[in-house]
Amino acid sequence: MAALGAATVGMAIVAVALKNLVRSVVAYALASAFLAALFFVLASPFAGALELTVGAGLVAVLFLVALILAGGEEKEAAA
């Protein structure tokens, strides 16, 4: 159970720290999947199923589609 919590926090930190947006969305989806697994371990299947479908599924796919439609390339800002 502690390993799932540590993996969730670790992937959330990785998602925030990454420069590549696609990899950041994948890290967010993994953090959400780890959180859903933690809910299942804590005997809360409804919260786990909701987090898995909405967090890891719907939101991550929505972010990826938005990145694809927006061009998906990061441009360097002129300083």
Inside any domain, residue 40:
yes
Inside any domain, residue 49:
yes
Domain count, the chain: 1
Inside any domain, residue 65:
yes
Lowest mean pLDDT among 16-25, 26-35, 65-74: 65-74
What pLDDT was estimated at residue 75? 63
Give CA–CA dist 40/32, Å, rounded. 12
Its domain, for residue 10, covers: 2-69
Please report, as a single letter, which amino acid is at residue 68: I
Inside any domain, residue 48:
yes
What pLDDT was estimated at residue 78? 59
* Number of helices followed by number of strands (H, E) in the chain: 4, 0
> Where does 14-69 show beta strands of DSSP type E?
none
| Residue 54 CA, distance from chain mean position | 11
Inside any domain, residue 34:
yes
Inside any domain, residue 75:
no
pLDDT (average), residues 66-74: 77
Inside any domain, residue 6:
yes
Inside any domain, residue 77:
no
Give CA–CA dist 56/59, Å, rounded. 6
